[in-house]
Structure formats: C-alpha cells, structure tokens
Structure 1
Amino acid sequence: MDEREYQTQADAVLARIEEGVEGSGAEVECERAGSGILELEFDDGSKIVINKQAAVQEIWVAARSGGFHYRWQDGQWRDTRTGEELFAALSRLASEQAGAPVNLA
C-alpha cells in the first residue's frame, strides 16, 4: 500500500469508529484530538486513544489494558501480534472500560 492509500484507509477507519461510537448508544465521548488522533472517553475518565502511524502504516490503540498495533492485511486491520480484527478488538476494549456492552463492529 502506498502512502496515499494508507492515509485514505486510515482516515476511513477513524470516521467509521466515530460513527460506530455515536450509533452505539453507549456513554462514550468521541473526540478528534488533532490530525489522525481519536480519543474515546468513558464516564470514569479513562480513555482509549486511536491514532495513525503513517511511518509504519499502522493504526495504534492505547487502552487501559495495553497498547495494540494494527496493520492492513487481507482487507482488514489486524493486530500485529494476535491477528484480532480492529473493530472486534475496539468493541471488546470499549466494553471493558465502559462496564457495559459497546458494539463498534
């Protein structure tokens, strides 16, 4: 994937996450915190930060339970260690931090 394709794909992911949070009905605030950074804030003040890492063409997620790197593979963003799909992982991580189900998939 070239730089332009990466930027297009990564921007689409951030937009999809924003739409998913808004449509989930969960008590989660979603805010752009600069170019390529999205913050999800929960009632307890904890956050999940999702950001683009153009140099390595990845999307990084920082959550209470740890940091995760996702790379485009076979038409999906996949965790570089476990292979878990990004939206399934975000749903799980957000549900853990919200203390209630959050479906972003």
Structure 2
Amino acid sequence: MNLAEFHKNIEQVWAYVEEQLEEQDCDVDCDTQGAVFSITFNDRSQIIINKQEPMLEMWLASRLGGLHFAYKNGEWINSNQESFWQCLTDACAAHGETVDFKR
C-alpha cells in the first residue's frame, strides 16, 4: 500500500466508524484533527484512532489499552491476528456503548 492509499483507507475507516456510531444512536461525539480521530463518551473518556504514517499502521487507544494494526490481506489486524473492527467494538463496550461494526 502506498502512502496515498494508506490515507484514503484510514479516512474511509473513520467515516464508517462515525456513520455507524450515528446510525446506532450512540451518545458520543466524534472529532478529527489531522492524523487523529477521537470518540468522546458522556463521561469524557475517549477512544483515539490515529494514523502512524511512518509505519503505515493505525493505532487504537482506549480503556482496554493501546493496539497497533497493519493492513494485511484486505483487513486491519493486530499482532494477535485480531480484527480492528472487533477490537473497536470491544473498546466501545468498555466505554459503555454497544455498537456493532459489521464489515
């Protein structure tokens, strides 16, 4: 994946995340600033998803900790072979919101 594809892919991920949170009536605020996408919950806790351009990775930070994802075989997965979407679903649950990111 080249750099332009990397940015386009992650921006599509962010758009889908925001769309699903809205469609599933989650009580959160989403914000994008540069290479950082944040989801803020009612208790002011956050999930942060950011681009790590030098490594072509996407990082996810939440109450569950920090995870790094690389794009392999058409999917964002971490070193434990866990899907970004499942990890994000779990992270949202840890922050008090039930949401299903079906892909």
**Taking structure 1 as the reference length, what is the TM-score of the superposition?**
0.89
CA distance in 1, matches of 2:43, 2:70: 30
**Aligned equivalent of 1:96:** 94
**Aligned equivalent of 1:64:** 63
Q: CA deviation at 1:36?
A: 2.3
State the aligned residue count. 102
**Aligned equivalent of 1:9:** 9
Q: Does residue 75 of the first structure (1) align with residue 65 of the second (2)?
A: no
Q: Does residue 19 of the first structure (1) align with residue 16 of the second (2)?
A: no
Structure 1 stretches lacking a partner, 5+ long: none
Does the Cα contact within 8 Å between 1:24 and 1:104 map onto a contact in 2? no
**Taking structure 2 as the reference length, what is the TM-score of the superposition?**
0.90
CA distance in 1, matches of 2:18, 2:26: 12
Q: CA deviation at 1:102?
A: 1.8
Paired residue type of 1:24? Q
Q: CA deviation at 1:39?
A: 0.7
Structure 2 stretches lacking a partner, 5+ long: none
* Secondary structure of 2:6's aligned partner: helix
